[in-house]
Structure 1
Amino acid sequence: MPPYPRSEERRSMVDLQIESRGIRNPKILAAMREVPRHLFVPSPYDRDAYADAPLPIGNGQTISQPYIVALMTEFIRPAPTDTVLEIGAGSGYQSAILSMLVRKVITIERIETVAALARANLAAVYADNVEIVIGDGTLGYPPGAPYDGIIITAATPEIPGPLKEQLAEGGRLVAPVGDRILQELVVLERHGDRFTEEHHGGVRFVPLIGEYGWEEE
């Protein structure tokens, strides 16, 4: 990935918003210093791309707060040989970060115009190990399974069964679980047919729409 403008803002973002809050994985920190978040945020919000906040990207969707992106990435413990499934491509930023850390990323997006935005943004940063699939993310993507990590980037009332089934042995899944207003960040780890569960505090995401999520309003 070539050098991009606003590198000082990225360094400050990582130092003040991410590393200072306990994210220690050096590869995640390096990826977030390198990936130009402002390219994934539409105008006029791109001026605030490195702020400590989620931002709108259109179609009722948002790009997550930088710290939350780093935290969810750290929770799945990405490794260079991994295949990771992301539910909710958004503008492509989470996939771009993952693309620097794992072998392959598959991201599912239900809104075609949002998928097109993600595709253009990922091409602009040469993230050629990311595959975008249009469909119902709550069903996962069986052709790419099993997945070493799964990140759900929208609020779900519970972890969709198909996604648990597609998680590899020892794989980790992170998701915001709760109602449409407030959720808790939950991490699952698979051990055969058993799943251990961790809880990591309150978050707020847009709702996950699909067969195993919420109905569209």
Structure 2
Amino acid sequence: MEQQENVNTNLNLTLKEKFKFFFTSPSKLFEYYRENPKFGILFLITTICTLIHKLIFSNLSNEIMKKYMEKQLQGLDPQALEVTKKTMDTMNTPALKIGSTLIGALIGIFGMSLIIFIIFKISKVALSYQQTVTLYLLAFLSNSIGSIFKSIYMLISKKAIGINAILNPSAKNTLIASIDIFTIWQYVLLGIGIYAMGKTSKKKATILTIILAILSIGAAVLPFLVGIKK
């Protein structure tokens, strides 16, 4: 308890200390952000990492997607095929990619944080919406780190990671593309964050983390499961 109070009263963690705590003692970092729920820098880091990954993935997958669409649209009127190609080229312009990434980040982060906030309210976890956004972004840093590693790998290998889930959409391929060590790390951090920031029990934090993981994974594969039932 004494150690926890020391962290809460230290309102000026240096960047070096934040970096250290993220990897060595994330609970201390979450405790700090409970009292200082400022997420501007966290949002910026997340957006930049997502943008880098998306641009690299788009450049590597562009030709593959074109060939895939040509195969799918075989027999189509040549003029209609040309319009489709031009539409794809327009959608892959850097300006549009940057814009869509920013909009997607805003909707994804604040929308998901709202869902988590509602679940917290139902579960009587005493966190404000601002604290919830901060918690979510802190946990999501693991995915941001993953995006950078994946981007580096794609640049070296010239292979677009996750392209199979787009070319061959299925519940299995979606799960493979969605779940990796960085996603698992995110859920671990989310659980630690709920425990440290929400001042709740480890059991309750674990249950809430499992619920959030099921909802997230379920939303990704639900369209395929509904299709199977039909």
**TM-score, normalising length: structure 1:** 0.30
Higher relative contact order by CA 8 Å / sep ≥ 6: 1 or 2? 2
Give the strand-richer structure, 1 or 2.
Answer: 1
Q: Which has the larger radius of gyration?
A: 2
**TM-score, normalising length: structure 2:** 0.29
Give the helix-richer structure, 1 or 2.
Answer: 2
